[in-house]
């Protein structure tokens, strides 16, 4: 099987490494990739958001399967173009990708499927903002306001704050930019990311993971695209994972089928485990970053065959997944000033060690690997338990040199210390 992966982050690097372990995968290509993926796949500098260019590349490399990593090409319909060209694709259609691309669509699907989620209100007129803010947050007896961009925002469109001025300012900025704003009730409880391989009504869950969205230790500072993750979750009973699949993911997949936009790809349920049970924070239409780096490090089943089965309608026959015992931890190494405008162009040393996945990196003409994005690297450690996986990940993180870079030191710490309880 020849597989083409679309994207350029550490998630795509992790996908390529897992695909390479599949004995049926004979060739790997990636577009556009980064300095790390170049050593494991043929790399093509192709615009991932151009359906025509991606189809042309898939034909050039003779791809039997195309795996689309990021949400933007999916929301733009790149998967539809591949399927129309007769090329198997792991990734939802443009219509199904609205589960991530439009928060209002996702809420509508969840309501129809009877799935528990935050109550919400969309505001598109600045004149209605103050009255809407009064119906949420501390004004309505909740600990905080949750203010979201209705469209795609790479994880950075969300502000959760008990400060009305901060909530109002974020909403006003979004509205001024022409973006409708979603106000949501606050869901209390530990968060879970459950990735499910889905084809129509067939749902195969991967190991549950947890990610860390704030930039600083102890969840201090602004939201980012993700600063670290671990899997599996020692504090989450298997019965709750089963409940999430049965009561949330399957009904949503079935509702998408009912609406004529069946989902084929990775349906990512972001949840809070509240005192009343699991509730959806958001759905995404693709593998999450950085959880993928931890989850795939533990996958023993052949990833190319799994994604290929979903892409060709054979997922129901795939059988149960096999996982390595133990735990995996991902720590993201970010550039100075990230999530603000990051410092770029610095030489990185240690970036070619085992367990280092690349995101914002490129290779200079003299061969040096340099930083070219806010989240620069993801390091992944595995071990017999969470504590040893953390130790392995932080040993790699400490060995990397990048001027001004920073990472969180508490990824998976509360879980390793038994401080997360339902
Ligand atoms: N882990 C957050 C995301 O991928 O959106």
pLDDT at 154 over 70: no
The runs of H, that is alpha helices, within 213-315 are 238-244, 250-258, 291-297, 303-311
Task: Answer whether 0.85 is exceeded by the pTM.
Answer: yes
For a mutational test of ligand 1's pocket, the pick from 211, 215, 378, i.e. the residue with the most ligand atoms closer than 8 A to its C-beta, is: 211
CA of residue 351 to ligand 1 center, whole Å: 23
From CA 147, how far away is CA 136, in angstroms rounded?
10
Identify the pLDDT of residue 139.
82
Q: What rounded mean pLDDT belongs to the chain?
A: 96
Identify the pLDDT of residue 153.
64
Over residues 320-326, the mean pLDDT reads 97
Residue 220 Cα distances to 223, 229, 279, 290, angstroms: 9, 16, 24, 18
From CA 94, how far away is CA 26, in angstroms rounded?
29
pLDDT band at 152 (very low <50, low <70, confident <90, very high): confident
Domain ranges of the chain: 2-94, 121-184
Q: Which of 36, 30, 49, 31 is nearest to 10 (CA)?
A: 36
Identify the pLDDT of residue 103.
82
Identify the pLDDT of residue 272.
96
Q: Give SS3 for 125.
A: coil
Identify the pLDDT of residue 106.
94
pLDDT at 252 over 70: yes
What digits encode the pLDDT tens for the residues 264-306?
999 999 999 999 899 999 999 999 999 999 999 999 999 999 9
CA of residue 131 to ligand 1 center, whole Å: 31
Nearest atom in ligand 1 to 211's CA: 1
Beta carbons of 297 and 380 less than 8 angstroms apart: yes
Beta carbons of 233 and 248 less than 8 angstroms apart: no
The 8-class DSSP code of residue 360 comes to S
Nearest atom in ligand 1 to 154's CA: 5
For a mutational test of ligand 1's pocket, the pick from 270, 272, 294, 378, i.e. the residue with the most ligand atoms closer than 8 A to its C-beta, is: 270
From CA 42, how far away is CA 47, in angstroms rounded?
15
pLDDT at 320 over 70: yes
Which CATH code fits 2-94? 3.40.50.20
Token pair 């990610």: residue: 211
CA of residue 288 to ligand 1 center, whole Å: 4
What digits encode the pLDDT tens for the residues 28-86?
999 999 999 999 999 999 999 999 999 999 999 999 999 999 999 999 999 999 999 99
pLDDT at 158 over 90: no
Tokens of 321: 């997944």
Identify the pLDDT of residue 389.
98
pLDDT at 250 over 60: yes
Q: Could you name the CATH architecture of 121-184? A: 2-Layer Sandwich (3.30)
CA of residue 59 to ligand 1 center, whole Å: 30
For a mutational test of ligand 1's pocket, the pick from 272, 289, 294, 330, i.e. the residue with the most ligand atoms closer than 8 A to its C-beta, is: 289
What digits encode the pLDDT tens for the residues 75-127?
999 999 999 999 999 999 999 999 999 888 999 999 999 999 988 899 999 99
Residues with CB under 6 A from ligand 1: 155, 211, 226, 284, 288-289, 291
Q: In what order do the strands lie in the sheet with 202-205?
A: 202-205, 191-199, 264-274, 277-284
pLDDT at 353 over 60: yes
Tokens of 73: 């090409």
Nearest atom in ligand 1 to 193's CA: 1
Nearest atom in ligand 1 to 291's CA: 1
Identify the pLDDT of residue 140.
85
Identify the pLDDT of residue 311.
98
From CA 308, how far away is CA 66, in angstroms rounded?
9
Q: Provide long-range contacts, Cβ within 8 A and 24+ apart, for 362-370.
A: 362/34, 362/35, 363/35, 363/38, 369/35, 369/36, 370/35, 370/344, 370/345, 370/346
pLDDT at 155 over 90: no
pLDDT band at 150 (very low <50, low <70, confident <90, very high): confident
Tokens of 125: 């007129």
CA of residue 367 to ligand 1 center, whole Å: 31
Nearest CA residue ID for atom 3, ligand 1 = 288
Other CB atoms within 10 A of residue 364 CB = 12
CA of residue 293 to ligand 1 center, whole Å: 11
Provide the CA 105 distance to its chain's centre, in angstroms.
Answer: 19
Identify the pLDDT of residue 119.
87
pLDDT at 128 over 60: yes
Q: Give DSSP secondary structure letters for 169-234.
A: HHHHHHHHTT--EEEEPPPPS-EEEEEEEEETTEEEE---BEE--EEEGGGEEEE-S-SEEEES-T
Provide the CA 269 distance to its chain's centre, in angstroms.
Answer: 10
Identify the pLDDT of residue 345.
97
Q: Give SS3 for 231.
A: strand
The 8-class DSSP code of residue 185 comes to P
Write out the H or E segment, with its range, that includes residue 55: helix 51-60
Token pair 């350029």: residue: 8
CA of residue 290 to ligand 1 center, whole Å: 7
Identify the pLDDT of residue 151.
72
Nearest atom in ligand 1 to 155's CA: 5
The 8-class DSSP code of residue 37 comes to G
CA of residue 235 to ligand 1 center, whole Å: 21
Beta carbons of 362 and 45 less than 8 angstroms apart: no
Decide: residue 277, CB within 10 A, 0-12 exposed, 13-18 middle, 19+ buried.
middle
Q: Which of 389, 398, 374, 391 is nearest to 294 (CA)?
A: 389
From CA 360, how far away is CA 83, in angstroms rounded?
30
Q: Which of 34, 64, 30, 28 is nearest to 48 (CA)?
A: 30
pLDDT at 156 over 80: no
CA of residue 212 to ligand 1 center, whole Å: 9
Nearest atom in ligand 1 to 282's CA: 5
What digits encode the pLDDT tens for the residues 369-421?
999 999 999 999 999 999 999 999 999 999 999 999 999 999 999 999 999 99
From CA 145, how far away is CA 25, in angstroms rounded?
47
């Amino acid at each position: 099987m020849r597989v083409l992966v679309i994207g350029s982050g550490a998630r795509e690097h992790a996908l390529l490494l897992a695909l390479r372990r599949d004995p049926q995968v004979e060739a790997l290509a990636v577009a556009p990739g980064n300095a790390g993926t170049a050593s494991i796949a043929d790399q093509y500098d192709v615009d991932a958001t151009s359906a025509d260019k991606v189809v042309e590349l898939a034909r050039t490399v003779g791809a039997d399967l195309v795996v689309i990593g990021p949400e933007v090409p999916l929301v733009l319909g790149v998967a539809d173009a591949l399927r129309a060209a007769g090329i198997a694709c792991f990734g939802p259609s443009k219509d199904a990708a609205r589960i991530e691309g439009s928060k209002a669509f996702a809420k509508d699907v969840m309501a129809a499927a009877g799935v528990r989620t935050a109550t919400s209100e969309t505001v598109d007129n600045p004149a209605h903002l103050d009255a809407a803010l009064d119906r949420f947050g501390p004004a309505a007896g909740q600990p905080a306001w949750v203010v979201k961009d209705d469209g795609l925002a790479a994880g950075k469109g969300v502000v959760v704050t008990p400060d009305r001025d901060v909530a109002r300012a974020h909403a006003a900025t979004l509205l001024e930019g022409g973006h409708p704003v979603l106000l949501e009730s606050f869901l209390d409880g530990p968060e879970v990311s459950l990735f499910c391989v889905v084809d129509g009504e067939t749902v195969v869950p991967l190991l549950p993971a947890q990610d860390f969205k704030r930039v600083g230790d102890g969840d201090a500072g602004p939201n980012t695209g993700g600063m670290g993750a671990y899997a599996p979750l020692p504090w989450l009973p298997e019965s709750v994972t089963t409940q999430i699949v049965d009561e949330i993911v399957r009904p949503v997949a079935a509702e998408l089928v009912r609406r004529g936009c069946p989902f084929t790809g990775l349906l990512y349920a972001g949840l809070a485990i509240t005192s009343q049970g699991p509730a959806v924070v958001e759905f995404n239409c693709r593998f999450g970053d950085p959880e993928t780096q931890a989850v795939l490090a533990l996958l023993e089943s052949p990833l190319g065959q799994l994604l290929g089965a979903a892409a060709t309608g054979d997922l129901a026959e795939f059988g149960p997944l096999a996982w390595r015992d133990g735990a995996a931890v991902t720590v993201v190494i970010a550039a100075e000033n990230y999530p603000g405008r990051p410092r770029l162009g610095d030489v990185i040393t240690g970036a070619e060690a085992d367990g280092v996945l690349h995101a914002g990196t490129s290779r200079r003409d003299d061969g040096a690997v340099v930083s070219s994005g806010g989240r620069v690297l993801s390091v992944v450690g595995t071990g017999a338990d969470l504590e040893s996986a953390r130790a392995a990940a932080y040993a790699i993180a400490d060995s990397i040199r990048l001027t001004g870079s920073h990472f969180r030191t508490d990824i998976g710490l509360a879980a390793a210390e038994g401080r997360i309880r339902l």
